[in-house]
């Protein structure tokens, strides 16, 4: 059985009633449904504990950055089924070339140089989609998270 965002949120607040009125959003990793499936399963397995996005996307999408240890995120797989609830433990804005080796490892399990190569192309695509130019000095948001709930149907 697969869950939608409302169903997983109801399960979560039954176990954590103090979170009932806490802000929460739902999203999936970009790059298509296959990439979202792979990345969401890496999160569920504990192999992925971070993500990075272009800072300009927050302004473009008229969204505020999450508040560490407060806001919750419902994570979807590539079929838009809710697979986990996350909570950010660190939210840091910095130039792309200031992202640390520790963050790269938490995100992809790779070295910083491999992470930079793979993310440079992805972030360039994000920037172009909103009419911006990406450089190594472009601001990014490095988000570190923990899984706080896995649905009972998984």
| pLDDT tens digits for range 66-90 | 999 998 999 999 999 999 999 999 9
Q: What's the pTM value of the predicted model, to 2 decimals?
A: 0.90
DSSP labels for 24-72? EEEE--SS-HHHHHHHHHHHHTTS--EEEEETHHHHHTT-PPPPTTT-E
> What gap in Å lies between CA 78 and CA 80, rounded to an integer?
5
- Is pLDDT of 110 > 90? yes
């Amino acid at each position: 059985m697969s869950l939608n965002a409302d169903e997983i949120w109801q399960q979560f607040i039954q176990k954590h009633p103090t979170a009932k009125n806490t802000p929460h959003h739902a999203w999936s990793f970009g790059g298509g449904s296959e990439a979202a499936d792979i990345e969401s399963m890496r999160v569920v397995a504990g192999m992925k504990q971070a993500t990075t996005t272009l800072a300009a996307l927050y302004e473009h999408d008229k969204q505020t950055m999450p508040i560490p240890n407060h806001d919750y995120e419902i994570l979807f797989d590539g079929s838009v089924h809710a697979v986990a609830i996350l909570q950010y433990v660190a939210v840091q804005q910095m130039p792309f070339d200031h992202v640390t080796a520790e963050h790269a490892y938490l995100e992809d399990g790779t070295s910083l140089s491999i992470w930079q190569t793979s993310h440079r192309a992805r972030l360039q695509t994000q920037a172009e989609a909103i009419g911006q130019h990406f450089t190594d000095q472009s601001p990014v948001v490095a988000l570190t998270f923990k899984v706080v709930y896995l649905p009972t149907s998984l």
